[in-house]
Amino acid sequence: MDRRRNMIIGIVAGIVIGAALTYATGLAKLFLAPYSSSAEYKGSESATAPDLATGEWINSEPLKLADLRGRVVLIDFWTFGCYNCRNTLPIVKSWNDRYRARGLTIIEVHSPEFDDERKVENLRREITSLGIRYPVVTDNDYQTWNAYKVEAWPTVFLLDKQGRIRLMHVGEGEYKEAERLIQKLLAEEPPLENK
């Protein structure tokens, strides 16, 4: 009995030590890389972002990207039942608080995964519960999801003041890099037609 117990303790200790070393040496980031991806684009290589499809707007009148030229726009594809989306929400909300007055507009595109997420009354309740105060648009038919070629929740797109995609990030993490790009894009000159 003692031999089996010692063997189990040894295995558990090995797993804990291995996990700690993986985390400490940065290998965890390498192992988790397939679950998160990011692409930053230079202004000259960026495509103009597709417009948002018609949906029900919460916390805002309907917005069109063309009307937001001169502002930096963060589009966050999410669904309220997604664990990873909930993990990213505090940082997105903090960006809204810090940068909205400086020219950042955040738009949550709610593309549901499950049937109960399609119901607008459920979405409104969750938005209130989660303290989301910026615009949310429903995407129950996945028109905007498909236009942006999204494949997973959450996916964030960052648009410059000309409406061009400058960052696409899938999954959690890389918040410092995204925030640095937000700051850089906010500091850029607005397009000539908005001066």
Q: Give the model's pLDDT for residue 178.
A: 97
CB 185 within 8 A of CB 161: yes
Return the structure tokens found at 19: 């996990």
C-alpha pair distances (Å), 86 with each of 8, 28, 99, 130: 36, 21, 20, 9
Q: Bigger pLDDT: 190 or 101?
A: 101
pTM of the predicted model as reported, rounded to 2 decimal places = 0.80
- Which band of pLDDT confidence, cut at 50, 70 and 90, is reported for residue 24? low
Q: Give the model's pLDDT for residue 154.
A: 98
Q: Give the model's pLDDT for residue 29.
A: 45
Q: What are phi and psi for residue 43, nearest 5 degrees?
A: -55, -40
CA torsion angle for 39, 80, 175, 148 (degrees, to 10)?
20
104, amino acid identity:
L
DSSP state of 68: G
Helical (H) or strand (E) element with 73? strand 72-78
**CA 76 to CA 90: how far, in whole Å?**
13
Return the structure tokens found at 131: 């303290």
Contacts of residue 61, defined as CB under 8 A and 6 or more positions apart, other chains included, come to: none
Q: Give the model's pLDDT for residue 9.
A: 81
**Can you tell me which residue has the tokens 């498909």?**
146
Contacts of residue 75, defined as CB under 8 A and 6 or more positions apart, other chains included, come to: 49, 52, 107, 109, 148, 156, 157, 158, 159
The reply to whether omega before 112 is within 30° of 0 (cis) is no
Q: Give the model's pLDDT for residue 130.
A: 97
Return the structure tokens found at 153: 């929740």
Number of H helices, E strands in the chain: 6, 7
Q: Sign of the C-alpha dihedral, residues 41, 189, 174, 94? A: negative
Q: What is the three-class DSSP state of 90?
A: helix
Q: Lowest-pLDDT range, 7-11, 165-169, 182-186?
A: 7-11
